Amino acid sequence: MVLKQITALVFAVLSVNATIAISTHRTDDPLTTIALAAPDGSIKANFIAWGATTTNLWVKDKHGSFRDILLGFDNHSLYQTQEDGHPYFAPVIGRYANRIRNGTFTIPISKNASGPGQKYQIPENAADATLHGGIVGYDARPWTTLKQSSNSVTFSLVDPDGDQGFPGTVTTEVTYTLDVKSTWKIHMHSVATEPTPIMLTNHHYFNLEAYQESQDLNSHFIQIDASRFVATNGELLPNGTLTSVEGTTLDFRKAKSLGEAINNTVCGTGCSGFDNDWVYDTPNSNKPGLSLWSTNSGIKLDVTTNQIATQVYSCNALFFPGIIPVIPRKVDQGGPDEVYENQSCVALEQQSIIDAINNPEFGVNQIYGPNRPYTWETTYTFSVLN
Ligand SMILES: *[C@@H]1O[C@H](CO)[C@@H](O)[C@H](O)[C@H]1NC(C)=O
Ligand SMILES: *[C@@H]1O[C@H](CO)[C@@H](O)[C@H](O)[C@H]1NC(C)=O
Ligand SMILES: *[C@@H]1O[C@H](CO)[C@@H](O)[C@H](O)[C@H]1NC(C)=O
Ligand SMILES: *[C@@H]1O[C@H](CO)[C@@H](O)[C@H](O)[C@H]1NC(C)=O
Ligand SMILES: *[C@@H]1O[C@H](CO)[C@@H](O)[C@H](O)[C@H]1NC(C)=O
Ligand SMILES: *[C@@H]1O[C@H](CO)[C@@H](O)[C@H](O)[C@H]1NC(C)=O
């Protein structure tokens, strides 16, 4: 099963390469660095229009020094060519994040697309599923830079009717804003010309130590306000049930070390680590739904969001020797001679419930259209442990 996933990944990489020729007709270079800083200088970040990607994020550690805590490529061409295995380093994911069972769904939705609605087929790029919006997702497209100031940038993307097999044209804007007191706000908004599934996310991989003290997650602690997670099979496809975290390794209602829990959980067949979707107990609250911190660097991240769930992925199998290349770290993270190890980072994806378009029992309406715009909002607030 893992091999099948790899084949799909390699196929995805080849297909992504095929789109590059089209994007070179653009006049503005989507790989140009856009550098922003908060008005009080407490947080800094760099972005590129390709994938509306965040390439760097600097926050202060317990010594008052800036560290770049996001994984990425120093060589921006690698975001475009995906030679380094398509790790989805910090882009916007769309039109539909995570997995769609068998790449199919109906509108109106039905269990496993077995109902009478209009059936849609999206090419698969993972085991028995479409992952992250298809072979050419929003991460692999040139967005347009609409607006820019010293602390904010807005990118937009028009996703045409029929692209990857999805119905209706979807126009999306994402605004990244750096604010005082180390605050990073992300706002996404989409409008569709026809009823269509939309589930966006941001795919940031964090290492709150910037690899300075350790290469594992033992000193990274996480707390998640969630008593349920989405039950999945060995291919990470939901079966329609939400399961209690009680008595499982996935119980993070009280903070635990991620690294110490990592060997006691599985992320599908032949994989160890976290790759799960937790359903927040108090969604859309001003209280953080999730907090992550490192006792080594002292950097703490609190996440508030209007999303009902969060996927947490502990960078399992970030590379497979001989198949997915080893990825050199950024210079700011000790590269390029050092590489990104498996399970040395964590992706925090604020989102809806996986594949709710094939599981009506979740009761989540993910079909948007002319009379139902889509909005995604998340705030990351950084601080230093006392
Ligand atoms: C960046 O990556 C591109 C694509 O692989 C490569 O052609 C180029 O030589 C690289 N640039 C540097 C400075 O390494
Ligand atoms: C998967 O999708 C194909 C194409 O629509 C369909 O023929 C097949 O029945 C589907 N398989 C399952 C298990 O739903
Ligand atoms: C949907 O797929 C799951 C997983 O293959 C299966 O267990 C379930 O029986 C299917 N449901 C229907 C209605 O086909
Ligand atoms: C889904 O999987 C979970 C965990 O394996 C299991 O407890 C639950 O009974 C399953 N639900 C269905 C409908 O098969
Ligand atoms: C988890 O497993 C790996 C590989 O077997 C091992 O190196 C590591 O020490 C284990 N971590 C813990 C906290 O036991
Ligand atoms: C990363 O994980 C994959 C899958 O578990 C494994 O095949 C590979 O050997 C790991 N790489 C390293 C350097 O541990």
pLDDT in tens, 174-216: 999 999 999 999 999 999 999 999 999 999 999 999 999 999 9
From 100, 111, 269, 361, give the residue whose CB has the most ligand 3 atoms within 8 Å, as the site to mutate: 111
Whether the Cβ atoms of residue 134 and residue 165 lie closer than 8 Å to each other: yes
Ligand number with the minimum distance to the CA of 82: 1
Q: What is the structure's pLDDT at 320? A: 67
Q: What is the structure's pLDDT at 12? A: 35
Which residues have any ligand 2 atom within 6 Å of their CB?
A: 102, 104, 112, 121
Ligand 4 centre to CA of 275 (Å) is 17
Token reading at 250? 């996935």
What's the mean pLDDT when you consider all of the chain?
91
Nearest-atom number in ligand 2 for the CA of 113 is 14
Q: What is the structure's pLDDT at 218? A: 98
| Band (86; pLDDT cuts 50, 70, 90) | confident
Nearest-atom number in ligand 4 for the CA of 232 is 2
From 236, 241, 248, give the residue whose CB has the most ligand 4 atoms within 8 Å, as the site to mutate: 241
**Percentage of the chain lying above the pLDDT 90 cut:** 84
Ligand 3 centre to CA of 112 (Å) is 6
| Band (321; pLDDT cuts 50, 70, 90) | low
Alpha-carbon distance of 185 to 377, in angstroms, equals: 8
Domains, the chain, with CATH or none: 2-384 (2.70.98.10)
Q: What is the structure's pLDDT at 223? A: 98
Q: What is the structure's pLDDT at 101? A: 98
Q: What is the structure's pLDDT at 254? A: 98
Q: How many Cβ atoms from other residues are within 10 Å of residue 46's Cβ? A: 18
pTM: 0.91
Q: Is the CB–ligand 4 distance for residue 234 below 6 Å?
A: no
pLDDT in tens, 227-278: 999 999 999 999 999 999 999 999 999 999 999 999 899 888 888 899 999 9
Alpha-carbon distance of 33 to 200, in angstroms, equals: 23
Token reading at 87? 């790790």
Collapse the DSSP code of 81 into the 3-class scheme (helix H, G, I; strand E, B; otherwise coil) and give the result.
helix
pLDDT at 3 over 70: no
Residue 218: name the closest of 128, 143, 287, 314 by CA: 314
Query: In one letter, which amino acid is 155?
Result: F
**Percentage of the chain lying above the pLDDT 70 cut:** 92
Which residues are catalytically annotated?
Answer: 203, 349
Residue 128: name the closest of 94, 103, 97 by CA: 103
What is the mean predicted confidence (pLDDT) over 148-158?
A: 98
Q: Is the CB–ligand 3 distance for residue 112 below 6 Å?
A: yes
| HSE of 238, CA atoms in CB hemisphere, 13 A | 26
Closest protein CA for atom 2 of ligand 6 = 317
Identify any residues that bridge with 304 across adjacent strands, giving them in sequence order: 379
